[in-house]
């Protein structure tokens, strides 16, 4: 993709983040539309998705133009918008800021890691689980259901049958991981 195309993508994604910021700001003005906790949470999820996307675009831009200084502005827009949303959620839900997380994406120039596979053979377990935990399990942006689905997609044969005994829920993900050890 060309530098111009990447910059167009960045501009488009930045407009989407700005739109979310404007919606949130408007809801705080007198007479503005009052947003529910669910709406704030939804906007926060969308914001984080856009931020992850725009950081990826920014990394690609910096590979082609090391002098591009757009990252600081993008981070500032994200952080200020996220903090406003979090403050509203804290007021509505008594949520502490320590319960929330920030998205951090490496600007590494390495290609993304391929997910490991596991067929249930004991001799392959340690390599599988070490890689899986590093790539998926420690990824704080994923819910346990998303992690569970990634786990199922990495498994084959007996290992998949073992995990398929569990319904895909947040609570069952750690149980399924533990069952693979046996």
- The mean pLDDT value of the chain amounts to 84
pLDDT exceeds 60 at position 37: yes
Q: At what angle do helices 144-154 and 122-132 cross, to 10 degrees?
A: 140
Tell me the C-alpha distance between 146 and 111, whole Å. 22
Considering the entire predicted model, what is its pTM? Answer: 0.52
pLDDT of residue 23: 92
Tell me the per-residue pLDDT of 51-72, one tens digit each, with 9 for 90 and over. 999 888 988 888 888 888 888 8
pLDDT of residue 93: 52
pLDDT of residue 110: 63
Tell me the C-alpha distance between 102 and 140, whole Å. 9
Q: Count CB-CB contacts under 10 A for residue 128.
A: 20
Average pLDDT over residues 144-152: 89
Three-state SS at 141: coil
Is pLDDT larger for residue 10 or for residue 137? 10
Report residue 118: phi and psi, to 5°: -145, 130
User: If pLDDT is split at 50, 70 and 90, which confidence band does 142 have?
Assistant: confident
Identify the bridge partners of residue 118 per DSSP, sorted by sequence position: 155
Average pLDDT over residues 17-45: 89
Calculate the alpha carbon distances from 153 to 33, 149, 169 in Å.
Answer: 42, 6, 15
- Percent of the chain scoring above 90 in pLDDT: 29
pLDDT exceeds 50 at position 173: yes
User: If pLDDT is split at 50, 70 and 90, which confidence band does 143 have?
Assistant: confident
Tell me the per-residue pLDDT of 85-138, one tens digit each, with 9 for 90 and over. 888 887 755 444 434 444 444 445 666 777 888 988 888 899 999 888 888 888
pLDDT exceeds 70 at position 145: yes
pLDDT of residue 98: 39
């Amino acid at each position: 993709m060309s530098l111009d195309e990447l910059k167009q993508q960045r501009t488009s994604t930045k407009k989407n983040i700005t739109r979310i910021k404007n919606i949130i700001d408007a809801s705080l003005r007198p007479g503005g539309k009052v947003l529910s906790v669910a709406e704030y949470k939804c906007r926060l999820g969308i914001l984080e998705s856009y931020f992850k996307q725009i950081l990826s675009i920014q990394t690609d831009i910096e590979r082609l133009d090391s002098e591009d200084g757009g990252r600081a502005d993008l981070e500032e827009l994200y952080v200020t918008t996220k903090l406003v949303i979090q403050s509203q959620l804290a007021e509505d839900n008594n949520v502490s800021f320590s319960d929330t997380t920030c998205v951090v994406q490496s600007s590494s120039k390495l290609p993304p890691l391929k997910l490991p596979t596991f067929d249930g053979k004991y001799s392959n377990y340690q390599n599988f689980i070490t890689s899986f935990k590093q790539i998926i399990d420690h990824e704080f942006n994923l819910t346990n259901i998303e992690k569970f689905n990634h786990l199922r997609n990495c498994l084959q044969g007996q290992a998949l049958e073992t995990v398929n005994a569990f319904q895909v829920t947040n609570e069952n993900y750690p149980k399924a991981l533990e069952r693979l050890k046996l």
